[in-house]
């Protein structure tokens, strides 16, 4: 593996083992706000996040009595749909026998949840197990002998209204898994899933159509994606060493934007050059505030709030810690604020003399408290902010983890 998804890849391998240019001017002329423009009286600069204590946690998964009620899966990525329901995409998914041996395992699964119960998923079961939401195409890069099993993990998802249906774009990490915790990255891909509110996916499994298997050769872009509410989707990625390294070895982070209808075309992505957005340009490093090493060592997520503030969230170095790190900015290209760390509950457990911590924290705008209304895919303006993380021990024996969601009181200090 050669890029930043190593932290996520190794994490899921452990789970396997243990279970603007002219367009901006046109929008300005029409009185529209560009997502790259500060919402605070033209100010360009960081706004400090003010984050309260973590609230109660809720597991995301099937309800009691469901055949998959004991499923263990990580890396939850959600997208809010036009009727308020939520589609969930997960990373490694499996279940353990009473003796802790693996009963079944799949790379990636997906499920739908209704608007009134957004964390209770209606999983479709086939042969007693979850179904992968996407399958590698013939264009999938070859896996090495030590990691022969190919699959795709969800990285980010954005809902795009399309007449009477929603098109959900899903950026995915191409991965190869092997025994002995071997995990090898094969870049990023992108797919699409269509949601028809008149026919929720409760009978047939959710299947994502792969639009481009080799969207990016690494994960320098596509790890995070968010609707800018200006006709563009903004995506971010951060570089990493070829294997777990010191905090100083991670970064820089870069950002690009693309029209949703061209998201499967790598050449359509306009990178931020430090001066403008340009397709085919040289991406500039995103400025991350704070002293010392600052780049995310693991999965990063971003979202745009209704007030125009941008939020970044990730697990800090070394990647397996019970902490969520928040940053804020007035533009997706930054500069971003200094980090604010918030401790997570239940991340210091031990099972059979082995520590079981948490990882893969990410934003969940679909669950923000004041998100609502038809076709409202953005986050709220304040009060609380929703996010999720994977807790490797929620019940025992056998060892079982779960993807949890929670909220924190959230606001920003405009004085930075």
Strand order in 209-216's β-sheet? 149-162, 165-178, 182-195, 209-216
Neighbours of 290 (CB within 10 A): 14
The yes-or-no verdict on residue 9 having pLDDT over 60 is no
105-117 confidence digits (pLDDT tens)? 999 999 999 999 9
Q: What does the alpha-carbon distance between residue 312 and residue 336 come to, in Å, rounded to a whole number?
A: 9
308-346 confidence digits (pLDDT tens)? 999 999 999 888 889 999 999 999 999 999 999 999 999
Secondary structure (3-state) at 43: coil
pLDDT for 311 equals 97
pLDDT for 32 equals 39
CA R_g for the chain? 20
Model confidence band, residue 45 (pLDDT cutoffs 50, 70, 90): low
Q: Are 156 and 168 in contact (CB under 8 A)?
A: no
Give the pLDDT mean for 215-231. Answer: 93
pLDDT for 10 equals 39
Model confidence band, residue 408 (pLDDT cutoffs 50, 70, 90): very high
157-202 confidence digits (pLDDT tens)? 999 999 999 999 999 999 999 988 789 999 999 999 999 999 999 9
Q: What does the alpha-carbon distance between residue 386 and residue 383 come to, in Å, rounded to a whole number?
A: 10
Question: What is the residue-averaged pLDDT of the chain?
Answer: 87
pLDDT for 244 equals 75
Per DSSP, the residues of 149-182 read EEEEEEEEEEEEEETTEEEEEEEEEEEEEETTTE
Q: Which of 16-30, 246-260, 380-394 has the lowest mean pLDDT?
A: 16-30
Model confidence band, residue 39 (pLDDT cutoffs 50, 70, 90): very low
52-65 confidence digits (pLDDT tens)? 999 999 999 999 99
Q: What does the alpha-carbon distance between residue 141 and residue 152 come to, in Å, rounded to a whole number?
A: 12
Q: Which of 22-26, 248-252, 354-358 has the lowest mean pLDDT?
A: 22-26
203-213 confidence digits (pLDDT tens)? 999 999 999 99
Q: Which fold has domain 6-413?
A: Tachylectin-2; Chain A (2.115.10)
pLDDT for 416 equals 61
Instruction: Read off the tokens for 48.
Output: 């400090």
Model confidence band, residue 23 (pLDDT cutoffs 50, 70, 90): very low
Neighbours of 106 (CB within 10 A): 19
Model confidence band, residue 43 (pLDDT cutoffs 50, 70, 90): low
Helices and strands (H, E) in the chain, number of each type: 2, 24
Comparing 157 with 32, the larger pLDDT belongs to 157
Nearest CA-CA partner of 85 in 402, 383, 301, 374: 374
pTM of this structure: 0.89
Q: Which of 9-13, 36-40, 303-307 has the lowest mean pLDDT?
A: 9-13
Give the pLDDT mean for 302-307. Answer: 94
The yes-or-no verdict on residue 240 having pLDDT over 90 is no
pLDDT for 382 equals 53
Model confidence band, residue 347 (pLDDT cutoffs 50, 70, 90): very high
Q: Which of 13-22, 237-246, 266-275 has the lowest mean pLDDT?
A: 13-22
pLDDT for 325 equals 95
355-379 confidence digits (pLDDT tens)? 999 999 999 999 986 433 333 444 4
pLDDT for 64 equals 95
């Amino acid at each position: 593996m050669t890029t930043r998804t190593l932290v996520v890849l190794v994490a899921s391998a452990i789970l396997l083992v243990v279970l603007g240019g002219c367009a901006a001017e046109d929008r300005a002329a029409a009185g529209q706000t560009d997502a790259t423009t500060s919402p605070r009286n033209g100010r360009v600069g960081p706004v400090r996040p003010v984050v309260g204590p973590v609230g109660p946690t809720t597991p995301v998964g099937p309800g009691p009595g469901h055949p998959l009620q004991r499923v263990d899966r990580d890396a939850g990525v959600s997208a809010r749909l036009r009727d308020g329901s939520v589609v969930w995409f997960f990373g490694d998914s499996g279940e353990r026998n009473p003796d802790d041996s693996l009963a079944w395992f799949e790379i990636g699964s997906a499920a739908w949840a209704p608007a009134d119960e957004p964390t209770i998923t209606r999983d479709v079961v086939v042969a007693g197990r979850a179904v992968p939401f996407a399958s590698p195409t013939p264009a999938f890069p070859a896996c090495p002998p030590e990691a022969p099993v190919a699959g795709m993990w969800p990285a980010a998802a954005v809902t795009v209204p399309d007449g009477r249906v929603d098109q959900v774009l899903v950026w995915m990490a191409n991965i190869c898994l092997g025994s002995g915790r071997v995990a090898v990255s094969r870049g990023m891909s992108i797919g699409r899933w269509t949601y028809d509110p008149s026919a929720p996916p409760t009978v047939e499994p959710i299947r994502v159509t792969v639009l481009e298997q080799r969207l990016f050769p690494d994960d320098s872009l596509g790890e995070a994606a968010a609707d800018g509410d200006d006709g563009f989707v903004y995506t971010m990625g951060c570089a990493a060493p070829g294997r777990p390294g010191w905090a100083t070895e991670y970064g820089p982070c870069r950002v690009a934007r693309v029209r949703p209808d061209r998201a499967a075309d790598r050449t359509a992505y306009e990178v931020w050059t430090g001066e403008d957005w340009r397709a085919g340009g040289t991406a500039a490093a995103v400025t991350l505030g704070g002293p010392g090493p600052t780049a995310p060592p693991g999965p990063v997520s971003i979202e745009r709030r209704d007030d125009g503030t941008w939020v970044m969230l990730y697990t800090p170095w070394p990647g397996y810690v019970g902490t969520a790190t928040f940053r804020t900015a007035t533009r997706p290209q930054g500069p971003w604020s200094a980090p604010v760390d918030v401790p997570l509950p239940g991340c210091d457990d031990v099972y059979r003399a082995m520590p079981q911590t948490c990882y893969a924290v990410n934003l969940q705008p679909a669950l923000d408290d004041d998100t609502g209304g038809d076709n409202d895919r953005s986050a709220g303006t304040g009060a609380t902010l929703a996010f999720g993380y994977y807790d490797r021990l929620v019940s025992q024996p056998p060892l079982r983890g779960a993807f949890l969601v929670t909220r924190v009181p959230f606001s920003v200090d405009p004085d930075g």
